[in-house]
Amino acid sequence: MANPRDWFAGRVAVLATMHRKEQAIAPLLEAHLGVTVTVPPAFDTDGFGTFTGEVKRPANQLTTARLKAAAALRQTGATLAIASEGSFGPHPQIPFVACDREIVLLCDRQHQLELVGECLSPNTNYRQQVVRSWAEAKAFASTVGFPSHGLIVRADDTEIAKGITTAEELETAVVTAMQQSPSRQARLETDMRAIYNPTRMEVIAQATQALLNVTSQACPACGCPGFSEVKRWPGLPCGHCGTPTPMTLSVRYQCQQCQHQQDAPCPNSPTVADPTYCLYCNP
Ligand SMILES: [Zn+2]
Ligand SMILES: [Zn+2]
């Protein structure tokens, strides 16, 4: 089976979601893998952690996605599951810039295969602010894409409302929060649940595309999908003096099934490094 599509075409893929992530994920997977995506009825992902803080995540992002996929497989008896998981915080390379890291995981029990697509995007409205008036609340809302993007309002740690998408609901929640809070302030947060956050939905679609890219890389030895990166080797030569730099020279790919390995130049990277990264030219 040289074409990765042949591994999945005609199968049902259960998507472990309750926040309509199928809007971003299903069309891409159906078009490119030939699967039919279904969402298990009454599937509750909130038990795996919520952004709104009621339930703490049991484990890291990838492990959480695995647990969701396993739960969907258990519940439905299917052999193919998709799960997605996001996390928000400072960009790993650029502090003070918020970013959204989305992963989309494909778990195939029939072929004992796990494939992961990832997207790290600075394109997010992830933000919180404490306000003391309706005017301040309105100003915050206007900077985070409200009302197409939902908001959450708290009185200190107590949630007043979430999934807020109208000015009337927002005003009511802010006034209530300021009345209930001993310090007379309301805490506003962007609602990061996919259904209330079109920007996040877009990043989930990009992570789904990354998953398709990984899937389309077939092992040259056995044809298994997901011949993907397991390691990076530094040493790209400096464009000025030729000294090896810490920039990536090559990437090692490995098959999950037959363990075949191959080293290749880093895709989309230049053949020499900018002297800025050279420890000799730019110590
Ligand atoms: Zn292989
Ligand atoms: Zn140099």
Name the least confident of 85-99, 104-118, 223-237: 85-99
* 241 Cα to the center of ligand 1, angstroms: 39
Cis peptide before 147 (omega within 30 of 0): yes
SS3 258: coil
pLDDT tens digits along 95-108: 788 899 999 999 99
CA distances from 205 to 62, 70, 177, 234 (A): 17, 22, 35, 30
Amino acid (one-letter) located at 69: A
Task: Supply the DSSP string of 39-100, one letter for each residue.
Answer: --TT---GGG--TTSSS--SS-HHHHHHHHHHHHHHHH--SEEEEEEEEEEE-SSSTT-EEE
Where along the chain do its domains lie?
Answer: 5-124+195-216, 128-191, 230-277
d(CA 211, ligand 1 centre) in Å: 18
- Residue reference for tokens 């894409």: 145
42-53 tens-digit pLDDT: 777 666 666 555
DSSP helix/strand/coil, 266: coil
Residue range 135-162, pLDDT digits in tens: 999 999 999 999 999 999 999 889 999 9
Quote the CA–CA distance of 57 and 50 in Å, as a whole number: 7
CA contacts within 13 A on the Cβ side of 249: 12
207 CA to centre of ligand 2 in angstroms: 35
Please check the confidence at residue 67 and state whether its pLDDT lies above 60. Answer: yes
Token pair of 179 as six digits: 């009345």
The predicted pLDDT at position 89 comes to 85
Q: What is the pLDDT of residue 166?
A: 97
The burial class, CB within 10 Å (0-12 / 13-18 / 19+), for 6 is middle
Region 172-196 average pLDDT = 95
Q: How far apart (Å, rounded) are the C-alpha atoms in residues 35 and 144?
A: 36
First to last CA, the chain: 50
CA dihedral for 225, 230, 233, 236, sign (positive or negative) = positive
Distance 32 CA to ligand 1 centre (A): 21
Three-state secondary structure call for residue 206: helix
Question: Which DSSP string corresponds to 157-205?
Answer: TEEEEEEE-SHHHHHHHHHHHHHH-TTS-EEEEE--SGGG-HHHHHHHH
Ligand 1 centre from 22 Cα, in Å? 30
Ligand nearest to the CA of 226: 1
8 A C-beta contact, residue 50 and residue 225: no
Does residue 57 carry a pLDDT above 70?
A: no
Give the CATH number of domain 5-124+195-216; options: 2.40.30.10, 3.90.950.10, 2.40.50.100, 3.30.70.3040.
3.90.950.10
User: Whose atoms come closest to the Cα of 254: which ligand?
Assistant: 1
Q: Please tell me the distance between residue 206's alpha carbon and the centre of ligand 2 in angstroms.
A: 35
Two tokens, residue 33: 């893998």
CATH architecture for segment(s) 128-191: 2-Layer Sandwich (3.30)
